[in-house]
């Protein structure tokens, strides 16, 4: 099996006359969490209707598809994965007909013991269609003879270790689940549908609710199973001993949209605080603060505010970059970055520039950006990263390269500075990052920065 790290968005709705359209919009708002494939499963008169495909939400669904996805309940999923192979079979939601009717599952996260569970299930006769970890849950449910889906889930989930926020659609329920560590976000809301009534909605991020006019009700709690049916919402727990909390701090650093509330905190505000603390920890005499757009913008605002240095859009981003573009036949230096980011020499020529980005992973993007900034005439380039050095891969649902490709896992900060050719380079401390999210390493997972993985990790099993 390949390494399997996914970034995903999930959405679900129950009791909405426009269920599939709301799901489409919910996925549209959460496109940043996954761009490789998208799918919606709706429920009509106890039967599932499925539409899935490779590509962006806007490309996968057409008016005719949404018309076909009838019913007042639906779930949807956006997926990004690093794995090649039989991609069509891995597009979520996964759906199957089980003993107690049709079941569809959308999963954000990663089961770290998927390979071991898969091997066991195969011994019992399970036939796997795809190569993804989510299918394990479907098979564990299929092996259960109970017709109580909540009971089936309570028996299946303790066998799976890792990160999972799930939306599940059965013949008579929408179920939303968050793993006991609370790695990935999952929020519950209500959308007014007239006559004082409302539909229930579930999403990875609150920005999906904003688009469809839904009201945020609360987070699904770590270890909670929320089931929604025509009688309302009911809460149950995942069985087993309580775990430590391990909310993903990287959601706040990079992954979530800044206009979302994640783990009860505004992502925009926490990113600004990361920038402020970065400025306190790593000041430098300079003329201006320039963000790497868009990911570095809130932190650069914070850095500018704290340091008193003016904030300037010294790099402009082209927002219309597709997945592919035709390269010129003769090589243009740094073409790949230039097509997306263009430094403004009028702004930065002759200046000492503090460049702020949210994270530095391989270092290759930063190296190219600095080359462009120097070519545009900057006198000095001081690179500031609004998170600590990324030293470990994520096994819980964020796509990060292997340790060998993480520059901070292999090199000192001075060596990285030299590689990216910055005049100075510094990072936010782990303590500073935790302060910015008003938390501690007891309740957040910061394994990609501090190496403290909350679950056992066997790299070969992932």
From 400, 447, 449, 454, residue interacting with ligand AMP (rule: CB under 6 A): 400
Residues 401, 153: Cα–Cα separation, whole Å? 32
Phi/psi for 372 (5° steps) reads: -65, -40
Using alpha carbons only, give the angle 381, 382, 388 rounded to the nearest 5 degrees. 140
Number of helices (H) and strands (E) in the chain: give both, helices first.
Answer: 18, 23
The window from 29-37, 335-343, 362-370, 423-431 that contacts ligand AMP (CB under 6 A) reads 362-370
Nearer to ligand AMP, 165 or 366 (CB): 366
> Minimum CB separation from ligand AMP for residue 431, in Å?
21
Question: Which ranges of 143-286 would DSSP assign to H, the alpha helix?
Answer: 149-156, 207-212, 250, 267-281
Distances (CA, A) of 425 to 23, 246, 279, 380: 43, 29, 12, 12
User: Could you tell me if 356 and 299 are in contact, meaning their C-beta atoms sit under 8 angstroms apart?
Assistant: yes
Cβ proximity to ligand AMP, 243 vs 364, nearer residue: 364
- C-alpha triplet 55, 57, 59: angle, nearest 5°: 60
**Single residue of 337, 361, 409, 413 touching ligand AMP by CB under 6 A:** 361
Asked if 338 interacts with ligand AMP (CB under 6 A), we say: no
Which residue of 135, 399, 443, 450 would you call a contact of ligand AMP, by CB under 6 A?
A: 399
Minimum Å gap between C-beta 6 and ligand AMP is: 11
Q: Are 103 and 41 in contact (CB under 8 A)?
A: no
> For tokens 């929020």, what's the residue?
187
The Cα 220–Cα 459 span in angstroms is: 29
Build a one-symbol-per-residue string for 201-240: x at contacts with ligand AMP by CB under 6 A, - elsewhere.
Answer: ----------------------------------------
Candidates 111, 181, 254, 268; binder of ligand AMP (CB under 6 A) is: 254
Does 183 interact with ligand AMP (rule: CB under 6 A)? no
Nearer to ligand AMP by C-beta: 10 or 299?
Answer: 299
The residue with tokens 């391990």 is 246
d(CA 252, CA 281): 19
Give the list of residues 6+ apart from residue 71 with CB closer than 8 angstroms, or none.
19, 20, 42, 43, 44, 45, 49
Pick between residue 399 and residue 443 the one whose CB is nearest to ligand AMP: 399
- Does residue 83 interact with ligand AMP by CB under 6 A? no
* Candidate ranges 21-29, 90-98, 300-308, 352-360; the one touching ligand AMP (CB under 6 A): 352-360
Let me know if 448 is a catalytic residue.
no
3-state helix, strand, coil in the chain (%, to 5): 30, 30, 40
Smallest separation, CB 422 to ligand AMP (Å): 12
Asked if 81 is part of the footprint of ligand AMP (rule: CB under 6 A), the reply reads no
CB contact at 8 A, 79 and 37: yes
Residue recorded with tokens 């039967």? 47
Among 131, 295, 307, 461, binds ligand AMP (CB under 6 A): 295
C-beta of 29 vs 315, nearer to ligand AMP: 315
Within 101-140, which residues bind ligand AMP (CB under 6 A)? Answer: none
- Identify which range of 40-48, 171-179, 334-342, 360-368 contacts ligand AMP by CB under 6 A: 360-368
Site for ligand AMP in 274-293 (CB under 6 A): 292
State in angstroms the smallest separation of the CB of 318 from ligand AMP: 15
Judged by CB under 6 A, the stretch of 12-20, 96-104, 351-359, 423-431 that binds ligand AMP is 351-359
Window of 133-141, 174-182, 340-348, 359-367 that interacts with ligand AMP by CB under 6 A: 359-367
| Cα(458)–Cα(461) distance, integer angstroms | 5
Stretch that binds ligand AMP, among 236-244, 279-287, 355-363, 370-378 (CB under 6 A): 355-363
SS3 (DSSP) at 365: helix
Contact between residue 278 and residue 356 where contact means Cβ atoms under 8 Å apart: yes
- Distance between CA 11 and CA 48 in Å, rounded? 16
Q: Give contact residues for ligand AMP (rule: CB under 6 A).
A: 254, 292, 295, 357-366, 398-400
Catalytic residues: 8
């Amino acid at each position: 099996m390949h390494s399997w790290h996914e970034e995903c968005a999930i959405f679900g709705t129950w009791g909405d006359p426009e269920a599939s359209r709301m799901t489409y919009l919910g996925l549209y708002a959460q496109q940043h969490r996954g761009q490789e494939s998208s799918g919606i499963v709706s429920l009509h008169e106890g039967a599932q209707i499925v539409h899935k495909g490779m590509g962006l939400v806007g490309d996968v669904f057409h008016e005719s598809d949404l018309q076909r996805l009838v019913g007042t309940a639906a779930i949807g999923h956006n997926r990004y994965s690093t794995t090649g192979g039989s991609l069509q079979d891995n597009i979520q939601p996964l759906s199957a007909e089980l003993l107690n009717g049709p079941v569809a599952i959308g999963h954000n996260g990663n089961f770290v013991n998927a390979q071991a569970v898969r091997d066991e299930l195969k011994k019992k006769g399970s036939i796997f269609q795809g190569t993804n970890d989510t299918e394990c849950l479907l098979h564990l449910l299929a092996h259960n003879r109970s017709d109580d889906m909540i009971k089936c889930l309570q028996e299946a989930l303790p066998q799976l270790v890792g990160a999972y926020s799930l939306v599940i659609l059965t013949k008579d329920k929408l179920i939303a689940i968050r793993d006991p560590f609370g790695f990935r976000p999952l929020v519950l809301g209500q959308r007014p549908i007239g006559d004082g009534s409302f539909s229930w909605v579930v999403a990875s991020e609150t920005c999906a609710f904003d688009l469809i006019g839904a009201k945020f009700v609360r987070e699904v709690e770590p270890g909670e199973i929320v089931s929604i049916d025509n009688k309302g919402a009911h809460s149950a727990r995942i069985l087993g001993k309580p775990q430590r909390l391990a909310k993903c701090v990287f959601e706040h650093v990079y992954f979530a949209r800044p206009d979302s509330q994640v783990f009860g905190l505004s992502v925009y505000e926490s990113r600004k605080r990361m920038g402020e603390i970065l400025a306190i920890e790593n000041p430098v005499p300079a003329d201006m603060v320039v963000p790497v757009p868009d990911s570095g913008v809130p932190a650069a605002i914070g850095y500018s505010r704290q340091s008193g240095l003016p904030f300037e859009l010294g790099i402009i981003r082209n927002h219309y970059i597709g997945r592919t573009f035709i390269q010129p036949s003769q090589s243009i230096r740094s073409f790949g970055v230039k097509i997306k980011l263009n430094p403004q020499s009028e702004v930065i020529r002759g200046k000492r520039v503090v460049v702020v980005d949210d994270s530095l992973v391989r270092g290759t993007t930063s190296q190219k950006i600095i080359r462009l900034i120097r070519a545009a005439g900057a006198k000095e380039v001081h690179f500031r990263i609004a998170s600590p050095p990324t030293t470990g891969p994520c096994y819980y649902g964020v796509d990060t390269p292997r340790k060998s490709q993480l520059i901070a896992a292999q090199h000192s900060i001075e060596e990285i500075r030299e590689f990216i050719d910055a005049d100075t380079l510094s990072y936010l401390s782990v303590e500073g990052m935790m302060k910015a999210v008003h938390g501690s390493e007891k309740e957040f997972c910061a394994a990609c920065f501090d190496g403290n993985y909350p679950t056992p990790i066997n790299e070969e099993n992932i």
